[in-house]
Structure 1
């Protein structure tokens, strides 16, 4: 199956609902949905220690150019915090929604992203991954993931899409800031529950963050610190989510698939060992994550061979590749989608 394929209406069979029920029984029997409290206690503790250590170094260094290295460190730590917030949003940590939401809100305050807004947006993505018109993750003004999207762009955005493969990484520099802007917009429009509480968390983060940076650093160094921190966090976040679906088939409007095929055919796993697991926060097991969103992160690795064998047995295309190949796959797809816009207009 080519990554640039777009499924038209009626091109895939929509049956097989019982297939997922069979797979779910195998997963439950293997104990892969059991909570992993020890893992998350250790992961959260490590993140808190790293955050505290970074704060101590930040204060001790004072108004120094070395703080740009601290900004790089914080970009990594904040993204790791976002990964835990992601897991909480999927109820991977606790069985109780309230306990997961508490962890999610705390991590939302730390990262400056509205937890309720993000959960709502992300749930829409999970319900219809790579589905034209329904998946907010492929409804990005500056990018196109299908020829139809590319032809619909106008003005500056049309020029950006022409060369989107080359501009992809530079555009990711703004990803973290755009998430915060979208959070603020959702709260101001009262598109989230408890908008006042969400607004309080966002203000607390913004004021605390800016106060810390500008109290310790001179204005020029403070601005550069923010640019490095937010820019690299955006690149890290984008490079963690992009390999999962970008370049995989886009489901045309009106196309309906059963749950199992909808999740597997539009997702891609990234292989590479435990260092990739850490680097991508478990998102590299995207197929397993989409099939069982509340499966604890460390169990995804164990679920992968089970799911892969099941898909092979049922003739369902299961896509996986290495990390660098996944990025090449994404960039080739973006370049191919923008190709029609680069053709010269006939005189």
Structure 2
């Protein structure tokens, strides 16, 4: 993704903020950090599967399923950082590592997800342009609720209560969407992406069903993929859900478009690790190529600048962020409940 600093007019509000961030050295790459993080992730991945084989045909594998859900999500965070070129400046190494972390390791299509995520960054929380607020199942605005039919209309009535249960299906949704994207002729590297995705699931299912009896294997798959989707969803939901939705009538500059539609989640170092530093969502959206460990250092600079410019800067604790998101979903579905 292109650095937004290069896209803004010199002298704009964002350009002045970008100068402060650049002068602080926060856009510089962190090769040692990512080398350690990638190595630890690879060791955790290999170690978890080694533990799976060692435990064998036992119901204790449900604990291994929970462990692998955490490891898979951390690989998802790594793929995210690679997609934004936070790790490598050049596209080639980023794509190679992204295909390994996404397609091969966790079964998520690198090309499809990267394109989708870049559209989200270009127009966050925009009803017409952000794929993350399209009314596929959940509806995000009263207008979407009024236009909804079928499953989205049925779900919208109680979507605040169904939101977390639905997240247990998110990983399967991402897997299916990854394969569906390969049907499009415009998809880049289709043979390679297809081979890696098919290879991932061939090995995944073979190892699970060769090690476990059918009943335990199905329970393992349900729990592993369910917790994987739930963990992913729980890290992304607090970032934008319940924040203002934009339409074509809104004409905001880059700085305000990114800040006003995002929310930071506070909680200390443990939350930073659990969220892959994406709890600093405002800073990440303003500077998507900024290495993840630099985001917390950028936060006080961005927050002070927003206060100086009179721009609302949203941050709250984890439970409060979920509460705001769920209240928004409940209010959106209210007209359908009457």
Is TM more than 0.5 here?
yes
> Are the aligned partners of 2:139 and 2:152 in contact in 1 as well (CA < 8 Å)?
no
2:315 to 307, 317, 320: 320
1:148 deviation in Å?
0.3
1:98 deviation in Å?
1.1
1:253 deviation in Å?
2.5
Query: Structure 1 residues 134-143 or 226-235, which shifts more?
Result: 134-143
> Are the aligned partners of 1:244 and 1:268 in contact in 2 as well (CA < 8 Å)?
yes
1:304 to 293, 299, 320: 299
Tell me, in whole angstroms, the C-alpha distance in 2 between the residues paired with 1:145 and 1:314.
29
1:182 to 177, 182, 203: 177
Q: Partner of 2:91 in structure 1?
A: 97
1:163 to 158, 163, 175: 158
The higher relative CO (CA closer than 8 Å, separation ≥ 6) is in 1
Deviation string, structure 1 residues 156-177 (Cα, Å, up to 9, x no partner): 3212101000000110000011
Tell me, in whole angstroms, the C-alpha distance in 1 between the residues paired with 2:39 and 2:168.
28
Q: Partner of 1:80 in structure 2?
A: 74
Where does structure 1 differ by over 4 angstroms across 4 or more consecutive aligned residues?
none
Matched, 1:135 2:130: yes
Q: Partner of 1:7 in structure 2?
A: none
Unaligned runs of 5+ in 1: 1-14
> Are the aligned partners of 1:308 and 1:318 in contact in 2 as well (CA < 8 Å)?
yes
1:192 deviation in Å?
1.8
Matched, 1:147 2:128: no
Q: Partner of 2:204 in structure 1?
A: 209
1:191 deviation in Å?
4.2
Q: Partner of 1:3 in structure 2?
A: none
Tell me, in whole angstroms, the C-alpha distance in 1 between the residues paired with 2:11 and 2:168.
41
Count how many residue pairs are aligned between Structure 1 and Structure 2.
Answer: 329
Using the size of structure 2 for normalisation, the TM-score is: 0.95
1:264 to 259, 264, 283: 259
SS of the counterpart of 2:182?
helix
Tell me, in whole angstroms, the C-alpha distance in 2 between the residues paired with 1:106 and 1:61.
26
Q: Partner of 1:120 in structure 2?
A: 115
Unaligned runs of 5+ in 2: 1-8
Tell me, in whole angstroms, the C-alpha distance in 2 between the residues paired with 1:141 and 1:94.
34
Tell me, in whole angstroms, the C-alpha distance in 2 between the residues paired with 1:135 and 1:282.
22
Tell me, in whole angstroms, the C-alpha distance in 1 between the residues paired with 2:292 and 2:334.
38
SS of the counterpart of 2:298?
helix
Tell me, in whole angstroms, the C-alpha distance in 2 between the residues paired with 1:155 and 1:188.
26
Q: Partner of 1:192 in structure 2?
A: 187
Cα root mean square deviation, aligned: 1.2
Matched, 1:239 2:231: no
1:291 deviation in Å?
0.3
1:51 to 42, 45, 51: 45
Matched, 1:70 2:70: no
